Amino acid sequence: MPLRPWSPVPIHDCAEPLVPLPAELWRLEPHPYAALGAPYGDGGCPFRLRSGVVSRLLEAQRWLQENGDGYRLAIFDAWRPLAVQRFMVEHTIASECSQRAVDPHTPSPERDQVVEEVGRFWAPPSEDPATPPPHSTGAAVDLTLADNSGAVLAMGSEIDALGAVSEPDYYGKLANDLPDGEAKRQAALWHGRRNLLAEAMAAAGFCQHPNEWWHFSYGDQLWAWRSGAPQACYGRWTNALT
């Protein structure tokens, strides 16, 4: 998997703590990766982020409550240690290979294509502190919209879906190309919801992953690359930072 365009951004970690998400932020449980057996280890709760990122999430939720028909944020995934990143990359490659009847253990053009497609969405589990996966920093969050009862809204694709359908503006472009009718109306609805989520997060200073409507970050390399900041203030979280 190639390096990301944000990988050259320097990191000067501010040593801000990793803290649990407060009760005001709705968690989608059971956690999807923990349910698969991802190795979080003892006490490795995924629903944690840097304290400044948590504050901004609460700010995004307040904006959403005031401007988004009473919708709320629904947190799918947050902090992700390297062991979990490695597990999920391997799991996703194996799952895609299985769906396409490709042997995941034997080199082939078909396997290479799966690895390339997975690599557009899953960062490599780099051990290099200069190129941490975004979620390992405690600065990145995967989330969606829910109504006030906690029911998750349809957004046009599942979180972690591979392919163009997960790009933030996919349904906006599709709606422009469709003739008037139910399909156009549905595409416009999903585009509107994705835009609303992006607006709420942008209002709190987050930047969105270019390939994923659900992924936002503040303070990591991706955020610095998209915002034009000269450096990231969050690197890979380790116990040495406590």
The model carries a pTM of 0.94
For the segment 19-69, what is each residue's pLDDT rounded down to a tens digit? Answer: 999 999 999 999 999 999 999 987 678 999 999 999 999 999 999 999 978
For the segment 150-172, what is each residue's pLDDT rounded down to a tens digit? Answer: 899 999 999 999 999 999 999 99
Report how far residue 130's alpha carbon sits from residue 146's, in angstroms, rounded to the nearest whole number.
35
Class of domain 18-241: alpha beta
- Domain coordinates of the chain in residue numbers? 18-241
Give the residue-averaged pLDDT of 65-89: 94
Percent of the chain clearing pLDDT 90 (strictly above): 86
Looking at the predicted structure, is the pLDDT value of residue 242 above 60? no
What pLDDT sits at residue 104?
A: 86
Looking at the predicted structure, is the pLDDT value of residue 236 above 70? yes
**Catalytic residue at 212?**
yes
Looking up tokens 């057996």, which residue turns up? 37
